[in-house]
Amino acid sequence: MAAANISPNNLAMAVYGDVTPVTGSSVTDEAVDAIKDALLPLAHMVPASVTVKGSSKAVTSITRTSTTAMVTTAENHELATGVSVTITGATESEYNGTYVITVTGANTFTYTVSGSPATPATGTITYLPVYRSTADYEVRPGGIYITSDGVIPAGEELLVSYAYAGQDVVEAMISAAQEFELVFEGLNEARSGKASIVRVWRARFGAAKNIALIGDDYANLELTGKALADTTKSTGQSQYFQTTILV
């Protein structure tokens, strides 16, 4: 039998699996490790409203001239002009927040600050990169793809926040073969299209021998199985199947 509709339930039947419905929701700070020029799968498919942040890193100092804050980082930041960073931990709250930066050196960058906070800033200050969609990563149906020419360093622990729609998850090869009752609806063209119904009382399918993930034609699931005896049927009834033909 070929199943042309690869629904979650049909797929689960073909792979001895179970279906778990997942309600649409959102994820905050899912951790993944960056690999350049590679797809990083996320826990849920087709992410939307994606933000990708880097690891929190130490700031050595923040000084201010007029409305320009100059940040010196403890290590080379590997950022680029146009990237956003989130500054936290400054006692002078005007320095804290998320800002688009201008890179001025390997371990320095500037941003525009409001007000006239004291300089230099005090406190235990950190910065956290907020990376750029398209330039640093691409959103794909399966997760995020880290671009080869973006500023996300290989091995960086990323925190990904996103929304996702409802989806069904099929876990393969975790259950025994199930039994089904089959109903076939047909038309007998040799008898002017009269209806015929075949009911198989008990049927059990083997696992699909192959599932085409890529192809030129519409996919289907080729299933083989057998009819089993239904011993609850009374004398005079078939234990296997029944055919009804319209007169």
pLDDT band at 92 (very low <50, low <70, confident <90, very high): very high
**What does pTM read for this prediction?**
0.82
Query: Which of 57-61, 79-83, 219-223 is least confident?
Result: 219-223
Find the mean pLDDT for residues 176-197.
Answer: 89
Cβ atoms of 239 and 203 closer than 8 Å: no
What whole-number distance in Å separates Cα of residue 175 and Cα of residue 158?
35
Find the mean pLDDT for residues 199-209.
Answer: 90
Find the mean pLDDT for residues 154-172.
Answer: 97
What whole-number distance in Å separates Cα of residue 140 and Cα of residue 245?
51
Could you please state the CATH topology (level 3) that the domain comprising 57-130 is classified under: Elongation Factor Tu (Ef-tu); domain 3 (2.40.30)
Cβ atoms of 143 and 113 closer than 8 Å: no
Cβ atoms of 50 and 139 closer than 8 Å: yes
Q: C-alpha distances in angstroms, 222 versus 150, 166, 184, 241?
A: 44, 28, 17, 21
Find the mean pLDDT for residues 229-235.
Answer: 95
pLDDT tens by residue, 98-148 = 999 999 999 999 999 999 999 999 999 999 999 999 999 999 999 999 999
Has residue 90 got a pLDDT over 90? yes
pLDDT tens by residue, 58-69 = 999 999 999 999
In the chain, CATH 2.40.30.180 covers 57-130
Find the mean pLDDT for residues 51-55.
Answer: 97
Percent of the chain at pLDDT exceeding 90: 78
Find the mean pLDDT for residues 233-246.
Answer: 94
pLDDT band at 54 (very low <50, low <70, confident <90, very high): very high
Find the mean pLDDT for residues 157-171.
Answer: 97
Query: Which has more confidence, 2 or 81?
Result: 81
Cβ atoms of 151 and 54 closer than 8 Å: no
